[in-house]
Structure 1
Amino acid sequence: MTDRIEAARAAVAEERSCVRAEHDAFEAFERRVADFSAVAASTSPPLLTDPQPTGRSLERVRSAYEETVMSVPHYQAEYGDTVAESLAVEFGEDLAAALVGGTALTPEFREAVRAAADAARQEREEFLGVLDREDASLARAATDLAEVRADLDALDDRPLSDRTFDDLRSLWEAVGDVEARIEGVAMRRQETIRGHRGDLPGVPTDLAEYLYADLPVRYPVLSSVADLGTAVDRAGRRIERRLASTP
């Protein structure tokens, strides 16, 4: 039953590894840009500007981006885009256009690039926090459901036919307690899902749909809860039928 949850935790761990790599890559990129020399903006006519090649400083920035952000192990499989496309996604159309078609890295331009890289890094850092909370939620649910399953199995230690009416009544109440615990797991999980939606307002899809798209179920905890709930419901009905026929 908890196999689905463990598969979900593996998916979270894989995503976390990718996000951490991107976080570190943007951090490395920002450090490299900080070390680049900037060219003071000139108000002179073009023929009187610095004779050095005008696009070399921006070429260094683009190369640094390729060597850090676009060099994470999963980049091609996950994104597979060009430098210009990636810059537009991460830094916005205007800054990307300036990096691709601009003439020189001025101090102001350099700081804008650094700020954009830092924003991208912070976005990953926030997402890492969301993934940590998701994994903690999955781990707790797996533990809780395993304990509930064990307690439910323990109640089935002897046939219903061997029990007195009072025994059956106590058993029925115990099954009701198990059912309430299962509902508690479901409620906590739903609260976590709602919390994720608040943490990631800009994400167009549900976090579970994003993380678990390749798994058999999109909501592994709620699916496991439903299966266990069905087993508990069947147990309760069997007890009720036996109670009705026991003098």
Structure 2
Amino acid sequence: MAVDHYGDVYGDSFEASLSAEFGVDLLVLISEATTFSPLIKQRLLEAAQQCIDNRRVFLETLQDEFTTLKDAQSTGQEIREAIAELDSTESQGISDTELTDRYDTLHTLTDECESWIQQRQEEIHAHRIDRSADVDAHTDLCSYLYEGMEVDYPVLATFVDLLEIISQYE
């Protein structure tokens, strides 16, 4: 990897890349060695396998997050449609039965939002625990994925917003 253009192509040094990918210990082992020994090969293969395993776990986490986003979008849309239906009906002069049905619908929608909020908070907490062993990890997955957006927790924000809308109808 001792090529003149490495830094220009990759934006950092070979040593920085090696350290970031495999850790300082392996960098020191390789940089202080005069030959590529069986020990170095073994440690490099172990570190590479750990990187592969970490990426598989991260990919699964991203797939789970994608599924959650799709489900949240679908549920949020259903709740918005139910609210729009309530909004389209006149609340003045409706029967007690219709008023009870309206209240039950609002209560069901509130429960659905609160369930999503609770579930999402548990997922966020679990991601923090899962990644807490990784010193270089972001505080949590959502902060990493949604950095630069208006909110770090878009699923939570969506259902909190829906709860606020629902509360206007109660």
TM-score, length-scaled by structure 1: 0.60
Kindly tell me the number of residue pairs found equivalent between the two proteins.
Answer: 166
- Please name the residue that 1:112 is paired with: 43
Alignment of 1:1-247 (within 5 A): 62=1, 76=10, 80-201=11-132, 202=134, 203-236=137-170
Q: CA deviation at 1:227?
A: 1.0
Q: Is the 8 A contact 1:91 1:117 kept in 2?
A: yes
Aligned to 1:172, what secondary structure does the other structure show?
Answer: helix
Q: CA deviation at 1:162?
A: 3.8
Larger Rg: 1
Question: 2 CA distance for matches of 1:196 and 1:94?
Answer: 27
Q: Is the 8 A contact 1:130 1:199 kept in 2?
A: no
Question: 1 CA distance for matches of 2:130 and 2:60?
Answer: 10
The alignment's C-alpha RMSD in Å is: 2.5
Equivalent position amino acid for 1:197 in 2: R
Stretch deviating more after TM superposition (214-223 or 133-142): 133-142
Equivalent position amino acid for 1:110 in 2: K
Aligned to 2:92, what secondary structure does the other structure show?
Answer: helix
Structure 2 gaps, min length 5: none
Given the superposition, is the C-alpha separation of residues 81 and 157 from structure 1 closer, same or farther in structure 2, using an over 3 Å criterion? same
Question: 1 CA distance for matches of 2:128 and 2:24?
Answer: 27
CA displacement, residues 51-84 of structure 1 (integer Å, 9 cap, x when unaligned)? xxxxxxxxxxx46xx99xx9xxxx94xxx32111
Larger RCO, structure (CA 8 Å, separation 6 or more):
1
Question: 2 CA distance for matches of 1:94 and 1:225?
Answer: 45
Aligned to 2:36, what secondary structure does the other structure show?
Answer: coil
Equivalent position amino acid for 1:154 in 2: E
User: Once superposed, which parts of structure 1, at least 4 consecutive aligned residues long, lie more than 6 Å away?
Assistant: none
